[in-house]
Amino acid sequence: MLVKTYTPKPQDIDRKWWIVDAEGQTLGRLASKIAPILRGKHKPTFAPNLDVGDYVIVVNCDKIVVTGKKMDEKMYYRHSGYPGGLTEINLRDNLRRFPERPLREAVKGMLAKNALGRETLSKLKIYAGSEHPHAAQKPTVLEL
């Protein structure tokens, strides 16, 4: 008996648009639900070496919650490349100044650290308010 491995072709990939309301959702739990959808693990045509995932729109990301003291104790770091150029900002200030960044970083940490992961992350659209410019794609509400 000969069993052939199925590999999806570019014309076989059917991408859907999903919309998620992040209001009242826990940051890490929300990210762990979004990451597999971006990768396409919920589809029967999943291939680990191809980007077969769907698009995800997240609205109200400025209203996410975290447990414990993470708002003040969780730190995000970035470096300018110059000596002494390390900048740190806690989650509360990060949400106030850049509401999309904490969720994007959480999802990014759950994806591959290569070109496929970067391509997958580009299908994530995050908005601080309840408005988004993707109404023409007719996104389906994703219940979490």
6 secondary structure, DSSP code: P
User: Model confidence over 45-66: pLDDT tens digits?
Assistant: 999 999 999 999 999 999 999 9
Topology (CATH) of 15-67+95-141: Ribosomal Protein L13p; Chain: A; (3.90.1180)
- Please give the Cα distance from 36 to 20 (Å, whole number): 14
Query: For the chain, where are the E strands, in sequence order?
Result: 17-21, 55-59, 75-79, 86-90, 124-126, 140-141
Q: What is the pLDDT of residue 67?
A: 96
- Please give the Cα distance from 17 to 123 (Å, whole number): 9
More confident residue, 3 or 36: 36
- Asked if pLDDT for residue 5 goes beyond 90, the answer is no
More confident residue, 1 or 63: 63
- Structural domain spans, the chain: 15-67+95-141
User: Model confidence over 82-109: pLDDT tens digits?
Assistant: 999 999 999 999 999 999 999 999 999 9
Locate all alpha helices (DSSP H) within the chain, ordered by sequence: 27-39, 70-73, 91-97, 101-108, 115-121
Q: What is the pLDDT of residue 58?
A: 98
Task: Report the pLDDT averaged over residues 4-28.
Answer: 94
